[in-house]
Amino acid sequence: MLKPTSPVAAAVAAIVCAAPVEALPPQPVPFIEHDGTYRVGVDVRPGLYLTPGAAGSAACSWLRLSSAGRREASNVIEHGESSGAQYALIAPTDAAFETHGCRAWSIGSRAATPIAPPGRTCIYPLTGCVDPQDP
């Protein structure tokens, strides 16, 4: 058998149940999984991003933009294009980051792929070869 509820308890329950639950605004994420333009600080976090390279046979290209939605040359802060691993430093002052044909980007907590050290540099006949691994 149910006990009768006091009027105060019923009023408190009605207020608690009727209070709207506000959804938290979406937080910027530390990864970019698809082609597109992402607003810095809204869609993605600023930071050093890494990609293993192109997703297919075409090159992986990216742009850092000073104005979101405007792909004019004057709005391009920096850009890159390659089929191999790439790094992009997205600054908090950037408006947007655009990517096309790349595998997933992730913020610099793990390397995209190992980067080989530079090979020997040979400048003949003046100096011979210099190995950057030697002190």
pTM for the full predicted model: 0.61
Model confidence pLDDT, tens digit, residues 30-78: 889 999 999 999 999 999 999 999 998 889 999 999 987 666 888 999 9
Q: What is the mean pLDDT of residues 4-27?
A: 56
DSSP 40: B
CA distance 111 to 104: 12
CA angle, residues 93, 96, 24, in degrees to nearest 5: 90
Residue located via tokens 């933009």: 65
Model confidence pLDDT, tens digit, residues 90-118: 999 999 999 999 999 998 754 444 555 55
CA distance 94 to 40: 6
Q: What is the pLDDT of residue 23?
A: 63
Q: What are the sequence ranges of the domains in the chain?
A: 31-114
CA angle, residues 98, 63, 73, in degrees to nearest 5: 115
